[in-house]
Amino acid sequence: MTEQTIDLGPALKKYRKQAGVTQQEIAEAAGISKNYVSAIERGAHQPTANILITYARSCRFSLDEMVNLIPRSKVDRKNKQDGLDLLRSIGDGIASACFFDPEYHGLTDKLQYGNLGVGREKARFELPQMDEDKITCFVIEIDRVLKKNGYLFLWLDKYHFCEGVQSWIADTSLTVVDAICWDKGQIGMGYRSRSRSEYLLILQKPPANTKTWIDHAIPDVWREKIPKSNRIHPHTKPIELTKRLIGATTDEGDYVIDPASGSFMVLEACKNLNRQFIGCDIQFGD
Ligand SMILES: C[S@@+](CC[C@H](N)C(=O)[O-])C[C@H]1O[C@@H](n2cnc3c(N)ncnc32)[C@H](O)[C@@H]1O
């Protein structure tokens, strides 16, 4: 377990309120007074192991989740909120993998690597954008919440794939270890060649080794056409590739994060593989 200081009182209060449990109910279940419960939640007294277990049982969260400060109410849900806020509410080193597909196009458009802003591409302009500073903040938080050896699967357009993402990762421990080209099986726009691909940069938290990657049959050019029925978001990514990558790098029950989920396709992949999902989108969700 990673070392971290936990402000237990406020965390217990938060979990209790989320679960709709009263201080009186905790007091009765733990055999202590309501005043003592209140003092614990103010941080005036440290809870004993028995009191912690009472909170965990009454408010239906595991001690592991509490210790790692994972907001249980956020797990396996389509959360509608800012991804940075969600990441900041998660403890250090809990996630085995993270998918991040930032929303940007300013530079891409200016440098004419693509042809955004016309026709079908117009829908993308209506999505909230992330500037370079914001993306860097996301990547720093992702680095913090990843386990040792954990993977960041970072979706890039052609511009960022060619120009690099050094400025996003400079203040992190992440190293680029691989890349996959996604052949969308469908031709798009372009000023020179016409786009049919997107790129997935694979980064790893130290120690960057292959011990936690168990599927060695994934090709680095992946062809997958998104069926029309799944095109519920202009940027939907290939679910079969996502499943293979989750299967290759995580175990059942592990946490997988996606702080800008769009169509919540990573959630679908996690459900399919019995992984726990923590993700959100600022514009989509429940
Ligand atoms: C490129 S799309 C992600 C598509 C997703 N990978 C999929 O397969 O559907 C980026 C998403 O980021 C969302 N977004 C923009 N700013 C955000 C923020 N600050 N926090 C969370 N989501 C944000 C947008 O609403 C958009 O849906």
Q: How far apart are CA 242 and CA 224, in angstroms?
A: 11
Ligand 1 in reach of 130 Cβ (< 6 A) = yes
Question: Is pLDDT at 109 greater than 70 in this prediction?
Answer: no
- Position in ligand 1 atom list of the atom nearest CA 134: 19
Residues 39 and 139 in one domain: no
Mean pLDDT of 141-167: 94
Residues 39 and 127 in one domain: no
Residues 87 and 55 in one domain: no
**Domain extent for 239:** 73-281
Mean pLDDT of 259-266: 97
pTM above 0.85, yes or no: no
**pLDDT per residue over 221-251, tens digit each?**
999 999 988 788 889 999 999 999 999 999 9
**Strand 255-258 to 95-100 pairing:** parallel
More confident residue, 117 or 187: 187
Nearest CA to ligand 1 atom 5: 262
What are the residues whose beta carbons fall under 8 Å from the beta carbon of 164, sequence distance 6 or more? none
Q: Report the residue among 281, 283, 284 best suited for mutation to probe ligand 1: largest number of ligand atoms under 8 A from its CB.
A: 281
**How many of the other CB atoms lie within 10 Å of CB of 162?**
11
Ligand 1 in reach of 40 Cβ (< 6 A) = no
More confident residue, 62 or 45: 45
Q: Is residue 164 situated within a structural domain?
A: yes
The SS3 of residue 175 is strand
Residues 137 and 268 in one domain: yes
**Which residue, of 21, 46, 67, is where some domain finishes?**
67
**Which residue, of 67, 87, 105, is where some domain finishes?**
67
| Structural domains counted in the chain | 2
What is the crossing angle of helices 34-42 and 8-19, to 10°? 120
Tokens of 68: 């790692």
- Position in ligand 1 atom list of the atom nearest CA 82: 20
Q: Report the residue among 233, 239, 246, 284 best suited for mutation to probe ligand 1: largest number of ligand atoms under 8 A from its CB.
A: 233
Counting every residue written for the chain, the total comes to: 286
Look up the CATH number of the domain holding residue 224: 3.40.50.150
Q: How far apart are CA 182 and CA 222, in angstroms?
A: 5
> What's the CA-to-centroid distance between 41 and ligand 1, angstroms?
35
The residue type found at 157 is D
Ligand 1 in reach of 235 Cβ (< 6 A) = yes
15 pLDDT band, cuts 50/70/90, is confident
Ligand 1 in reach of 223 Cβ (< 6 A) = no
**How many of the other CB atoms lie within 10 Å of CB of 203?**
27
Tokens of 223: 């062809």
> What's the CA-to-centroid distance between 124 and ligand 1, angstroms?
10
Q: Which residues pair with 278 in a beta bridge?
A: 75, 257
User: Is there a contact between 90 and 138 (Cβ–Cβ < 8 Å)?
Assistant: no
Residues 188 and 155 in one domain: yes
Question: Is pLDDT at 191 greater than 60 in this prediction?
Answer: yes
Q: Is residue 46 situated within a structural domain?
A: yes
Q: Is residue 4 situated within a structural domain?
A: no
Q: What is the DSSP letter of 176?
A: E
Residues 13 and 91 in one domain: no
